[in-house]
């Protein structure tokens, strides 16, 4: 097809338009009946025209799918908070935070978060945050039902910088149309969504004058050097170690004296990781044979792995090797997103896991319940596939702005807090999270270089679950309490 033919074909296509549906519902939260309105659909994000004589905003760039929950009643938008939510991947839709913790409907799992038998169920979420804040769930381009506009290339949105800009521009547009500029405003992101949220803290302030009251980071990764197992980078080996210890503790692979109290055992593992172990890794080949043997023995003690196996790894235990090795004698692997869960694989001889059981636990129930919910209860119809998690987007993601360096948005967040000293940050961590380990997060925030007067703006919470700690009911209950308190405390009296 020639360029002329392609232009003619694009011109013949109808212009995409907003497509919104409203429904009305009620839920009982804390003994109170709460009425709420759900707006489901797509908003067209447009770009100001650059050609002379063209009208402003005439060029569609993308159709953003979102689901917004607003509490009914006489709620003053100047005091009623609004929270924008997204997940990570970076090719993930917002379904996890939506149907896992925040929204008024929740995908039913077992109490520990294990896979229930199909068919799956959606239940009222007694832990929803709707009693505290209005909620807007955003699917970035190529996730959920969000798609690039006709004539636009999807890959243009699949990169660090453009993703932050497009999501930020959607947030501005929604806030303007919904007349919520004077509301207390929050972001909540999970996993790569925390990277996006930190980036947005700068972009929203600098591009749109959009100041936030708070940011919630669930299973945070802001400094990618802490989780990138590449030759010459020893940081991940240090920061993953306490999570290896937690995992071994959960599966009862530690010595008896280390099995009594998780938090006390983690304190010992952290001290070893940042002390003797870090020093040993720094020495590299200069380490003496006796010291190397001693470190291998101590690593074995804190990981549940055999000393000779640790010797063969050169004292450096990569995440997928650990996940495969810990329960090899049982012919089981452990999950990456949540190391409480065991995987059954073809054989026990491999070097890494072939399937993450913690992802397998959730992908089926969340997908099925969302498809049913969006049509049956929210009345939004689309025959497009709802891209719950696009591996294609993940694989093609561009970090072009960070060539020859690790992605690190911690500095963006530090600067945003410096400009807006009222911006508070809550960081939620799961002890059994092998994707974004809690000790790596602590390192990142301990190196944020915040002025001493602003260090109180950061708070960290911990849960005895994994990356998606909310699939574990006791952790979900605690997370709701922590999030509600954080939002209330982040709004001036």
In this prediction, what percent of the chain has a pLDDT beyond 90?
88
The whole-number pLDDT of residue 404 equals: 84
Say how many residues make up the chain.
493
The whole-number pLDDT of residue 78 equals: 86
Q: Is the pLDDT of residue 12 over 90?
A: no
End-of-domain residue from the set 320, 355, 390: 355
* Whether residues 104 and 27 fall in one domain: yes
* Whether residues 116 and 250 fall in one domain: no
Mean pLDDT of 148-168: 95
Reported as a single tens digit per residue, the pLDDT across 415-443 is 999 999 999 999 999 999 999 999 999 99
End-of-domain residue from the set 355, 375, 390: 355
The whole-number pLDDT of residue 51 equals: 56
The whole-number pLDDT of residue 49 equals: 66
Domain count, the chain: 2
End-of-domain residue from the set 355, 373, 389: 355
Q: Is the pLDDT of residue 185 over 80?
A: yes
Q: Report if residue 9 sits inside a domain.
A: no
* Whether residues 79 and 219 fall in one domain: yes
Judged by DSSP in three states, 51 sits in: coil
Mean pLDDT of 275-292: 97
> 262-272 and 289-303 helices cross at what angle (nearest 10)?
160
Cβ(64)–Cβ(151) below 8 Å: no
Q: Is the pLDDT of residue 76 over 90?
A: no
Q: Report if residue 10 sits inside a domain.
A: no
Q: Report if residue 29 sits inside a domain.
A: yes
> 192-208 and 160-177 helices cross at what angle (nearest 10)?
60
* Whether residues 442 and 463 fall in one domain: yes
* Whether residues 236 and 219 fall in one domain: no
Q: Which position has the higher pLDDT, 1 or 13?
A: 13
Indicate the helix (H) or strand (E) that contains 353: none
DSSP 219-234: EE-SBGGGT---TT--
- Computed over every residue of the chain, the mean pLDDT equals 94
Reported as a single tens digit per residue, the pLDDT across 408-418 is 999 999 999 99
- Rounded distance between C-alpha atoms, residue 470 and residue 291, angstroms: 42
The whole-number pLDDT of residue 54 equals: 47
Mean pLDDT of 53-60: 63
* Whether residues 259 and 330 fall in one domain: yes
Mean pLDDT of 164-188: 97
For residue 213, CA distances in Å to 130, 428, 490 come to: 17, 17, 6
* Whether residues 220 and 240 fall in one domain: no
In this prediction, what percent of the chain has a pLDDT beyond 70?
95
Cβ(245)–Cβ(254) below 8 Å: yes
Reported as a single tens digit per residue, the pLDDT across 89-106 is 999 999 999 999 999 999
The whole-number pLDDT of residue 16 equals: 80
- Rounded distance between C-alpha atoms, residue 44 and residue 141, angstroms: 11
Residue 297: give the domain boundaries: 231-355
Q: Report if residue 160 sits inside a domain.
A: yes
Burial 147-165 (b: 16+ CB within 10 A, else e): bbbeebebeebbbbebbbb
* Whether residues 368 and 475 fall in one domain: yes
The whole-number pLDDT of residue 6 equals: 41
Q: Report if residue 82 sits inside a domain.
A: yes
For residue 377 the two structure tokens come to: 């209860």
Q: Is the pLDDT of residue 75 over 80?
A: no
The whole-number pLDDT of residue 348 equals: 87
Q: Report if residue 12 sits inside a domain.
A: no
* Whether residues 318 and 345 fall in one domain: yes
The whole-number pLDDT of residue 47 equals: 87
Reported as a single tens digit per residue, the pLDDT across 119-151 is 999 999 999 999 999 999 999 999 999 999 998
- Rounded distance between C-alpha atoms, residue 218 and residue 467, angstroms: 8
Residues 6+ apart with CB under 8 A from 411: none
Q: Is the pLDDT of residue 14 over 70?
A: no
The whole-number pLDDT of residue 303 equals: 98
* Whether residues 174 and 236 fall in one domain: no
Reported as a single tens digit per residue, the pLDDT across 349-405 is 888 888 899 999 999 999 999 999 999 999 999 999 999 999 999 999 999 888 889
* Whether residues 133 and 64 fall in one domain: yes
């Amino acid at each position: 097809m020639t360029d002329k033919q392609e232009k003619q074909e694009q011109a013949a296509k109808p212009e995409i338009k907003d497509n919104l549906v409203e429904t009305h519902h009620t839920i009982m939260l804390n003994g109170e009946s709460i009425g709420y309105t759900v707006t489901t659909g797509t908003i067209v994000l447009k770009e100001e025209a650059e050609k002379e004589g063209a009208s402003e905003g005439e060029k569609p760039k993308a159709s953003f799918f979102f689901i917004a929950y607003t509490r009914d009643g006489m709620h003053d938008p100047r005091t009623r908070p609004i929270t924008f939510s997204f997940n990570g991947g970076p090719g993930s839709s917002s379904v996890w935070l939506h149907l896992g913790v925040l929204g008024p409907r929740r995908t039913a799992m077992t109490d520990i978060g294990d896979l229930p038998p199909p068919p799956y169920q959606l239940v009222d979420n007694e832990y929803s945050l709707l009693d505290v804040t209005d909620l807007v769930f955003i699917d970035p381009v190529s996730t959920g039902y969000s798609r690039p506009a006709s004539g636009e290339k999807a890959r243009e949105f699949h990169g660090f910088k453009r993703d932050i800009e497009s999501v930020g521009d959607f947030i501005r547009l929604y806030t303007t149309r919904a007349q919520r500029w004077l509301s207390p405003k929050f972001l909540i992101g999970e996993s790569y969504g925390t990277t996006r949220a930190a980036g947005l803290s700068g972009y929203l302030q600098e591009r749109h004058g959009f100041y936030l009251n708070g940011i919630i980071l669930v299973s945070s990764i802001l400094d990618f050097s802490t989780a990138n197992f590449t030759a010459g980078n020893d940081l991940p080996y240090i920061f993953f170690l306490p999570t290896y210890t937690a995992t071994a503790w959960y599966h009862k692979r530690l010595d008896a004296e280390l099995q009594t109290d998780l938090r006390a055992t983690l304190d010992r593992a952290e001290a070893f990781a940042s002390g003797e172990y870090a020093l040993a890794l720094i020495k590299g080949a200069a380490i003496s044979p006796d010291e190397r043997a001693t470190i291998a023995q101590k690593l074995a003690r804190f990981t549940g792995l055999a000393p000779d196996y640790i010797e063969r790894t050169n004292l450096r235990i990569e995440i997928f090797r650990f996940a495969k090795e810990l329960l090899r004698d049982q012919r089981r692997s452990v999950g990456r997103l949540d190391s409480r869960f065991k995987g059954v694989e073809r054989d026990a001889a491999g070097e890494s896991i072939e399937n993450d059981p913690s992802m397998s636990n959730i992908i089926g129930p969340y997908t099925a319940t969302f498809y049913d919910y969006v049509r049956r209860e929210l009345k939004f119809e689309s025959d497009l596939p709802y891209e719950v998690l696009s591996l294609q987007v993940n694989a093609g993601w561009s970090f072009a702005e960070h060539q020859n360096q690790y992605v690190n948005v911690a500095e963006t967040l530090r600067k945003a807090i410096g400009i807006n000293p009222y911006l508070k940050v809550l960081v939620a961590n799961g002890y059994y999270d092998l994707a974004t380990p809690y000790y790596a997060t602590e390192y990142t925030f301990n190196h944020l270089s915040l002025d001493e007067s602003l260090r109180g703006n950061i708070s960290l919470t911990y849960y005895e679950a994994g990356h998606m700690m909310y699939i574990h009911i006791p952790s979900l209950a605690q997370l709701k309490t922590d999030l509600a308190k954080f939002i209330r405390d982040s709004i001036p009296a």
